[in-house]
Amino acid sequence: MVGLAQNSNSLKNMIYRLFIGSNNKTHRLAIKKILKIVNRYYPGFTSYQVMGYWQGIPEKSLVVEVGTQTVENETIQKLAKELAKELKQEAIGVQMINSEMQFLK
C-alpha cells in the first residue's frame, strides 16, 4: 500500500512551469546550458522537449517544471531573467500553479 507523506504546508506548495524557446540568434535549443542554469537554482526539477510557437513561428522549446513547498516568485523571476539573458530570449513564459503535490512512499 502506498502512503502519503505528511505535509502541513500543502496549500503553499507551488509548481512553476517555465517555457523556454530556442536561442533567438542561433535558433538552437541549448538544452545543456538551460539545465545547468536551472540546476544552480533548483537541484530537483522535470524537463521535457516540446514544439512551441513564438509570434507564429515554430521553434524547439524546453518546458521546465519546478515543485516547491513555498512560494518562490522572486527566485523564479531571477531564474527566468537569467535564462532570457543567456539564451538571447525576448521573454521566458512562467506559469505559477498552486499545488497540493505530495511524495508517495
Q: Share the mean pLDDT of the chain.
A: 87
Give the global pTM: 0.82
Condensed to tens digits (0 to 9), the pLDDT of residues 12-59 reads 689 999 999 998 788 899 999 999 999 999 999 999 999 999 889 899
Residue 8 has pLDDT above 50, yes or no: no
3-state secondary structure the chain: CCCECCCCCHHHCEEEEEEECCCCCCCCCCHHHHHHHHHHHCCCCEEEEEEEEECCEEEEEEEEEEEECCCCHHHHHHHHHHHHHHCCCCCCEEEEEECCCCCEC
For range 47-75, the mean pLDDT? 92
pLDDT confidence of residue 1: 42
